Amino acid sequence: EDQVTQSPEALRLQEGESSSLNCSYTVSGLRGLFWYRQDPGKGPEFLFTLYSAGEEKEKERLKATLTKKESFLHITAPKPEDSATYLCAVQEDSNYQLIWGAGTKLIIKP
Residues in touch with another protein (CB under 8 A) = 31-34, 36, 41-46, 49, 51, 87, 89, 91, 96-98, 100-103
**Comparison of 45 and 58: residue with beta carbon closer to another protein:** 45
The minimum distance between CB 89 and another protein, in angstroms, equals 8
CB of 17 to another protein, least distance (A): 27
User: How near is the Cβ of 55 to another protein at its closest, in Å?
Assistant: 11
How far apart CA 70 and CA 68 sit, in angstroms, is 6
CB-CB contact of 19 with 68 (8 Å): no
C-alpha neighbours within 13 Å on the C-beta side of residue 4: 22
Shortest Å distance, C-beta 3 to another protein: 12
Three-class secondary structure of residue 90 per DSSP: strand
| Residue (48 or 78) nearer to another protein, CB | 48
CA 64-82-16 angle, to 5 degrees, is 90
Specify the residue, 45 or 60, whose C-beta has the smaller distance to another protein.
45
Pairing of strands 104-109, 10-14: parallel
Task: Choose between 36 and 75: whose C-beta lies nearer to another protein.
Answer: 36
Q: Which amino acid is at 109?
A: K
